[in-house]
């Protein structure tokens, strides 16, 4: 299974060339087993992240309506210890938020050291919905790609591991899911006319996404394209990407915890002696 990542700024992204379905031949039950194993490793890595307090993790989830942002939060974040996780959903900005620059509300929700934050939608809406629905002049949103790159670089400089996921769903699967939502009382609260209306802008969103992904992909804040028509594969790709990104830090975090352990032991010995 190959994970599709973009990490070069301005490299062309063509969503039409990327499948929304899982690779052929991948067994669903095997995938679920792998997800469980990854989940355990994720829990362990998060424990080290929390204790070492050297880094933070930011997960950005973007995707069209019904692409599964909530599902990823439920299934992948479900492996984590809630103590160190925070989830923020970014909806239509409030008046106060609109009176600030577009990154103001985002920056205050960025994770502190030790934490893992998940953004359900994010600053990317400010070059997506805002562009498609003409909410600000083009001259303004065009400037934002650079601001976003600089902002994410600032987070990385501070020790934040930034991972961005585009949940890639097909038009047909979206229709199926919207109809399902409409028909099932347990899901109907999630749907509104705007979701159907936005489908009419499908191609405009494609253009906006392709440019956003391309202009903001960097080595240190890459985009992963997640085929999202099958929920089990979607969850697997996100979990695996996350584990593979955090694994290289394991040694550092462990070392820091060992140092803290030695220091604490010495402090306690001194304290006992002084009693």
Is the backbone of residue 137 left (phi > 0), alpha (psi -120 to 50) or beta? beta
**C-alpha 166: how far from chain center:** 8
Write the DSSP assignment of 75-114 as a string of letters: HTGGGS-GGGEEEEE--S--HHHHTS-TTHHHHTTSPPTT
- Is residue 20 near ligand ATP by the rule CB under 6 A? no
Q: Specify which residues 117 forms β-bridges with.
A: 58, 86
Nearer to ligand ATP, 3 or 103 (CB): 103
According to CB under 6 A, which one of 14, 92, 137, 138 is a site residue for ligand ATP?
A: 92
Interface positions, 123-162, toward ligand ATP (CB under 6 A): 125-126, 129-130, 135
Q: How far apart, in whole angstroms, are the C-alpha atoms of residue 155 and residue 161?
A: 8
Opening angle at CA 92, ends 168 and 158, nearest 5:
70
Interface positions, 52-71, toward ligand ATP (CB under 6 A): 65, 69-70
* Least Å from the CB of residue 92 to ligand ATP: 4
* Least Å from the CB of residue 274 to ligand ATP: 55
According to CB under 6 A, which one of 90, 104, 145, 232 is a site residue for ligand ATP?
A: 90
**Residue with structure tokens 């669903």?**
28
Nearer to ligand ATP, 51 or 93 (CB): 93
Q: Specify which residues 6 forms β-bridges with.
A: 223
Nearer to ligand ATP, 168 or 240 (CB): 168
Q: Which stretch binds ligand ATP (CB under 6 A): 31-39, 89-97, 230-238, 258-266?
A: 89-97
* Least Å from the CB of residue 118 to ligand ATP: 12
Q: Collapse the DSSP code of 245 into the 3-class scheme (helix H, G, I; strand E, B; otherwise coil) and give the result.
A: helix
Q: How far apart, in whole angstroms, are the C-alpha atoms of residue 130 and residue 189?
A: 24
Q: Specify which residues 59 forms β-bridges with.
A: 118, 163
* Least Å from the CB of residue 237 to ligand ATP: 20
Q: Which stretch binds ligand ATP (CB under 6 A): 43-51, 74-82, 118-126, 230-238?
A: 118-126
Nearest to 128 by CA among 186, 21, 213: 213
**C-alpha 31: how far from chain center:** 21
**Residue with structure tokens 């995707």?**
63
Measured from the Cβ of residue 115, the count of other Cβ atoms closer than 10 Å reads 20
According to CB under 6 A, which one of 47, 93, 187, 210 is a site residue for ligand ATP?
A: 93
Q: How far apart, in whole angstroms, are the C-alpha atoms of residue 141 and residue 127?
A: 6
- Is residue 91 near ligand ATP by the rule CB under 6 A? yes
- Is residue 94 near ligand ATP by the rule CB under 6 A? no
* Least Å from the CB of residue 3 to ligand ATP: 24
* Least Å from the CB of residue 178 to ligand ATP: 11
Residues that bind ligand ATP (CB under 6 A): 65, 69-70, 89-93, 120-121, 125-126, 129-130, 135
């Amino acid at each position: 299974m190959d994970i599709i990542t973009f990490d070069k700024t301005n490299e062309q992204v063509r969503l039409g060339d990327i499948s929304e379905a899982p690779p052929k031949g991948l067994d669903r039950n095997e995938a679920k087993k792998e997800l469980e194993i990854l989940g355990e490793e994720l829990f362990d890595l998060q424990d080290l992240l929390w204790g070492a307090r050297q880094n933070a993790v930011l997960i950005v989830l973007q995707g069209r309506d019904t692409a599964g942002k909530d599902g990823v939060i439920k299934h992948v974040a479900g492996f984590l210890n809630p103590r160190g996780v925070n989830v923020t959903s970014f909806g239509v900005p409030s008046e106060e938020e609109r009176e600030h620059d577009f990154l103001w509300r985002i920056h205050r929700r960025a994770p502190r050291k030790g934490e893992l934050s998940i953004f359900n939608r994010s600053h990317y809406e400010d070059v997506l919905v805002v562009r498609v629905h003409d909410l600000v002049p083009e001259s303004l949103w065009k400037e934002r790609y650079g601001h976003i790159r600089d902002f994410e670089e600032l987070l990385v400089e501070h020790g934040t591991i930034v991972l961005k996921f585009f949940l890639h769903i097909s038009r047909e699967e979206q229709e199926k899911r919207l109809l399902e939502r409409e028909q099932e009382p347990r899901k109907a609260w999630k749907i509104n006319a705007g979701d159907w209306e936005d489908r009419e802008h499908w191609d405009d969103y494609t253009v906006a996404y392709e440019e956003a992904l391309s202009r903001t992909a960097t080595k240190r804040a890459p985009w992963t394209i997640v085929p999202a028509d099958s929920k089990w594969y979607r969850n697997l790709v996100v979990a695996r990407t996350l584990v593979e990104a955090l694994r290289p830090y394991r040694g550092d975090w462990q070392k820091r915890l060992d140092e803290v352990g030695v220091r604490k032991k010495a402090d306690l010995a001194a304290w006992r002696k002084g009693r």
